[in-house]
Amino acid sequence: MLVGMTVIRTARERARAEVRREILDAARRQLTAEGAEALSLRAVARELGMVSSALYRYFASRDELLTALIIEAYDELGERAERAAAATADQPAGLRWVAVARAVRAWAVDHPRRYALLYGTPVVGYAAPQSTVVPGTRVQIALAGIVLTAHRSGAIDAGRLGAGEPPVGSAVAADLARLRAALAQAAPDLLTAAGPSDVLLRATLLGWTQLFGLIGFELFGQLRGLVEDGEAFLVESAATMAARAGLQTGPLPPGR
Amino acid sequence: MLVGMTVIRTARERARAEVRREILDAARRQLTAEGAEALSLRAVARELGMVSSALYRYFASRDELLTALIIEAYDELGERAERAAAATADQPAGLRWVAVARAVRAWAVDHPRRYALLYGTPVVGYAAPQSTVVPGTRVQIALAGIVLTAHRSGAIDAGRLGAGEPPVGSAVAADLARLRAALAQAAPDLLTAAGPSDVLLRATLLGWTQLFGLIGFELFGQLRGLVEDGEAFLVESAATMAARAGLQTGPLPPGR
DNA sequence: TCTGGTGGGAGAGCAGTGCTCTTGAATGAG
DNA sequence: CTCATTCAAGAGCACTGCTCTCCCACCAGA
């Protein structure tokens, strides 16, 4: 008997899919409200009016439930980032970069516990399975796509990019080669023959870590009492990093 | 009967202090080995050959034990950073900045679980008490001290600092005023009449978030398969951020 | 329509957790 | 020497993830 792999056939399977969704919904609610380590299978079961052991028919373990929530969150955040990039496709790259950065922060501020699950301390004894890797890179790919698009269309301000910065060392050059290969796989049409320079790739990587570092600092309380308007600070920081990568923020390089 | 506040008087108090230290040692071992959320009062008690309820004579709760571990870790890391800054006091500011960054990363890599306790996801239901605030800023103060010292001695390369970056907005300027006040309290002798400019302070803040963002990315597995030599990448990143802040890496501005 | 296999809920139970309360013993001050 | 204080020990509460057994409902093939 041949059947389509994802086709729901029987009423039983329909019910199963629905219960699975309800479990995920309840788990997401608890994760949002109390944080990952307070996510309890028993509490989820209680909320759904079933007994805890019944949950194990749907998720083999708490870790598997966590994995589902992680992938879901990565995809939600990744989609926000991609939408922000797409919505600004006709704008200068610097503004696009800032738009994506704002979108990422907005999601993080809206869902701090879920963001922490993705970019905070890894849950002990939990090894992120392979299935989380691809969704986990969507934001970075979206940001890199902006840089690559700008580079492809010759919009990178070479005079500004990496001005006064140290040269790229050999160890880092090897890392950047790996990054170039990963980008070639994710967005092959954006890679030109000349390819993005090492300095540009390094600036992109610095932009990532800066963005996530700043969001983490804000969310985890490291900037308490210092930065009042997190949004404004992030916009300026992202714009600064974009400028340092040679991304233009206006139709013409301003102040020239 | 007047006694010094921290003087250990009786044998009882001596024993008490010793048991307290042993508890902390065992707890630190478990934290290092298994991570914060796996830190169990009962396991600590078991390791010390006592019963769990006895621990409550020394720490009112698990949170209080965690607080002690947090302060201890902040101080250990802060001391490393300060030592790195002191050991390079006669070097150009850019090299000093990199030295402190390396010291912070080295400690983080040596004690990933403890680093996660400080800069990772906050433990749910745990509000960092006031006593952690001061130790929690030692690294940032050390880094800022390097910048302020350079500024004070006129070693900031004004032509390089903030070149091509967006101007400081009003919201961020307010944040930087708070930062300036905090620095004035922490290192009053380093503030000149002219004071560090907003652009310099902003670059310093960006340096912090970049540093901790990068370390977090490396430690929490976000760079797996990409960056091989974390140390080399961090050194270059820190040097780049230092250069962007106008800190010099050699006796003379190179490449001029 | 009957029947046998399967999917899945219910419950008990295991080993662990933080924390509280009571009990009994050691200690040190007056 | 007395007696209040200090502290360890143990039982117990309410919770956790997870396993195992039991049993019922469904659903397909005969």
For A42, other C-beta atoms within 10 Å of its C-beta total 11
- By C1' distance from the Cα of A54, the closest nucleotide is C9
Share of chain B above pLDDT 70, in %: 93
Window 50-89 of B: residues touching A by CB (8 A cutoff) are none
Question: Which residues, in sequence order, are CB contacts of A136 under 8 Å at separation 6+?
Answer: A74, A118, A128, B222
The residue assigned the tokens 């206006």 is: A250
Q: What is the mean pLDDT of chain B?
A: 91
Cβ A227 to strand C below 7 Å = no
First to last CA, chain A: 71
Question: Is the pTM above the cut of 0.85?
Answer: yes
Q: Look at residue B236 and tell me whether its pLDDT is greater than 80.
A: yes
pLDDT score at A11: 76
What is the Cα–Cα distance from B123 to A38, expressed in whole angstroms?
Answer: 10
Cβ B41 to strand C below 7 Å = yes
What is the Cα–Cα distance from B31 to B44, expressed in whole angstroms?
Answer: 10
pLDDT score at B253: 44
Contact B175 A226 (CB under 8 A): yes
Residue B61 gets the label, from left (phi > 0), alpha (psi -120 to 50) or beta, of beta
Q: Look at residue B254 and tell me whether its pLDDT is greater than 70.
A: no
Q: Tell which residue, A141, A238, A157, A239, has the closest CA to residue A190.
A: A141
Please give the biggest Cα pair distance in chain A.
Answer: 71
Residues of chain A with C-beta less than 8 angstroms from the C-beta of B37: 37, 123-124
CA distances A46 to A40, A49, A55, Å, are 10, 5, 10
Look at the alpha carbons of B228, B230, B231, B235 in this order and tell me if their dihedral is positive or negative. Answer: positive
CA dihedral of residues B165, B167, B173, B176 (deg, nearest 10): 20
pLDDT, one tens digit per residue, over B57-81 is: 999 999 999 999 999 999 999 999 9
- By C1' distance from the Cα of B59, the closest nucleotide is C19
pLDDT confidence band for A2 (50 / 70 / 90): very low
pLDDT, one tens digit per residue, over A167-188 is: 999 999 999 999 999 999 999 9
pLDDT score at B251: 60
pLDDT score at A251: 60
Q: Tell which residue, B150, B145, B153, has the closest CA to residue B83.
A: B145
Q: Is B232 at the interface with chain A, CB within 8 A? A: yes
**Average pLDDT value for residue range A204-229:** 95
What is the Cα–Cα distance from A143 to A93, expressed in whole angstroms?
Answer: 10
pLDDT score at A12: 79
CA distances B254 to A173, A191, A209, B241, B248, Å, are 21, 33, 27, 16, 9
For B79, other C-beta atoms within 10 Å of its C-beta total 16
pLDDT score at A255: 40
Look at the alpha carbons of B190, B194, B196, B198 in this order and tell me if their dihedral is positive or negative. Answer: positive
pLDDT score at A162: 83
